Structure 1
Amino acid sequence: MATKHGNFFKWHIWLGWLIGVPLILWTASGLFMVARPIEEVRGQHLRAEVQNAAMAYENIVMFADDGNAVTGARLIAQGDGLVWIVNYLDGEIARYDAVTGEAMQKLDRQAAQQAADALYLPDETIRSTRYFSAENTPSDLRREKASWQVHFADGTNVYIDAVTGETLAVRTRFWRAFDFMWGLHIMDLQAREDTSHPILIGSAALALFGSILGFIMLFTRRRRKHRTAT
């Protein structure tokens, strides 16, 4: 029994060295991520409430589809008016003025700044505005869409869809810290999306085995003490 207990003890020590760092990372990153509500992480409290202005207009006109097959259309409030966001069968997306029915151009820099400033509640100045194509999206956007990144003085990035003018994301400094911790938690600091890869699975398996081994040692040690006492 003593030899068996000694082997368990040695294995547990070696496993402790192997899984100690992952366990610390999982616990620390998990604690950080649950420290604030997920709505706060996503910046929901920093966004102006979007009003449904559809009823404010009596003469809403349809858009001209130019013979293209339409797969979907949404009427949304944008700025001081309403616009149609139209999806076509070939994958194209267009924007139409809901009052005149005329096609609207993609957002320019000034329009993106106005949209972001109207959305973002904190009184912060805009430091920079940068366009990103769908093929070269920034790491904190997580969406393959053409966008304008409006960077505020407090470090927050507001992403505006360059085609539709809609808000794609609000990324605060805390969100970026949260995203880094999420990468540590799933052991994927590059893409931060893969939750099923060999390193993570192997570490989790070792952690489980080490925990079970430690649990078994509690009973073997207890029996050993009982026999020594008797």
Structure 2
Amino acid sequence: MKLKSNNYYIRKSHRYLGIILGVQFLFWTLGGLYFSWNDIDEVHGDHLRKEKRYYPSDLKLVSPGLVMNALKTSSKVDSVHSVQLIDIAGMPAYQVRYFSGEMDHSVHEAGAHMPAQPTNIKVQLANAETGKLIPALTEAEAVTVAKNQMADPVKVEKVEYLTEVGAHHEYREKPLPAYAVTFSQPDNCTVYVSAELGTFQAIRHNQWRVFDFLWMLHTMDYEGRDNFGNILLRAFSIFGLFTVLSGFVLYYVSSPSVKKVKKRMHQVS
């Protein structure tokens, strides 16, 4: 039985590696082209948004302390995380984030206990001009907030109230609950507004959705899209390296020029 040469096995390995990796290399190339030919600010929808306006310096506001006193009468406040001035449909409001409830008793590696830390962050909105506590946004208020984000007058097509989303949802890893306000144009644009925070969170449109899909193919993270350390990507990166190296080896062992050089060297020796 005639033994097959090393060239045969190298060529066969290179061919099968190319078949396995070829489709993914195509996805990487298409994704890279799309990423490089699109303005990331447009992908984020910045061109669809109205220019942000700020309150005048002479705005009459009550002290955040007044809001905190009112909050303590109705809720347990362990400590304050932040107090921020925001706009809710033209009304200046305080967004108070505070810790309340469960405590986290962390443990050092050496075994010593850390001081108890509050972990449950809650949010309270308040009218910044009167100090009156206000509830989470209603649907009508969320629609107004969403409309105020858009540069051009647009028609609302539908409104959804989201309490949970999947790992592949376009509003993943964002504050919930939230309102998804979809407009008839442009590009099936959807604006997401956090009900509890009272603020705009994200804008999604077709250009972003194509980017997001290609990003998933690029990272090969088919569960959450953003994990660059997943096993599949690492494996294909290693196989890709082997494919390139096998191509160099195949050229070396099959190139007529290399064979001529080796033959001359052999004759000289």
Take 2:177 and 2:43, find their aligned partners in 1: how far apart are those partners? 23
**Equivalent residue in structure 2 for 1:28, among 16, 27, 30:** 30
Q: Amino acid of the residue matched to residue 125 of structure 2?
A: R
Q: Which amino acid aligns with 1:32?
A: Y
Q: Residue in 1 aligned with 2:178?
A: 147
* Aligned length, in residue pairs: 228
Deviations 1:31-85 (A, max 9, x none): 1222212111111121112222151403443242233232211112333231111
Residues 114-154 of structure 1 show CA distances to partners (whole Å, capped at 9, x for unaligned) of: 11111111332110011111x34681112242100000112
In 2 relative to 1, CA 119–56 (structure 1 residues): closer, same or farther, beyond 3 Å?
farther
Residue 211 of structure 1: how far off its partner (Å): 0.9
2:87 alignment partner, SS class: strand
**Map of 1:64-213 to 2, 5 A cutoff?**
64-65=67-68, 66-67=71-72, 68=77, 69-90=79-100, 91-133=121-163, 135-136=164-165, 139-142=169-172, 143-154=174-185, 155-213=188-246
SS at 2:67 equivalent: coil
In the alignment, the residues of structure 1 paired with residue 249 and residue 39 of structure 2 have an alpha-carbon distance, to the nearest angstrom, of 37
- CA–CA distance in structure 2, aligned partners of residues 161 and 144 of structure 1: 6
Cα distance in 1 for partners of 2:137, 2:239 equals 52
Q: When the two structures are superposed, what TM-score results if normalisation uses the length of structure 1? A: 0.89
Check conservation: 2:216, 2:222, Cα contact below 8 A. yes
| Structure 1 residues 136 and 186: CA distance shift in structure 2, 3 A | closer
Is the counterpart of residue 40 in structure 1 residue 70 in structure 2? Answer: no
Equivalent residues in 2 for 1:41-60 (5 A)? 41-53=43-55, 55-60=57-62
Cα separation, 1, equivalents of 2:30 and 2:44: 20
Call closer, same or farther: CA 1:163–1:5 in 2, change over 3 Å.
same
Aligned partners of 2:52, 2:62: CA distance in 1, in Å? Answer: 19
SS in 1 for 2:201: strand
TM-score normalised by structure 2 residue count = 0.77
- Quote the Cα distance in structure 1 between the aligned partners of 2:6 and 2:82: 68
C-alpha RMSD of matched pairs (Å): 2.3
Q: Which runs of 5+ in 1 are unaligned?
A: none
Q: Is the 8 A contact 1:157 1:172 kept in 2?
A: yes
Structure 2 distance, partners of 1:162, 1:228, is 78
Deviates most, 213-222 or 200-209: 213-222
Q: Are the counterparts in 2 of residues 61 and 100 from structure 1 also a CA contact under 8 Å?
A: no
Measure the CA separation in 1 of the matches of 2:22 and 2:92.
56
Q: Which amino acid aligns with 1:159?
A: Y
Partner SS for 1:82 = strand
CA distance in structure 2 between the partners assigned to 1:25 and 1:185 by the alignment: 7
CA deviation after TM superposition for structure 1 residue 216, in Å? 3.3
DSSP 3-state at the match of 1:34:
helix
Q: 1:18 & 1:104 partners in 2: Cα distance?
A: 58
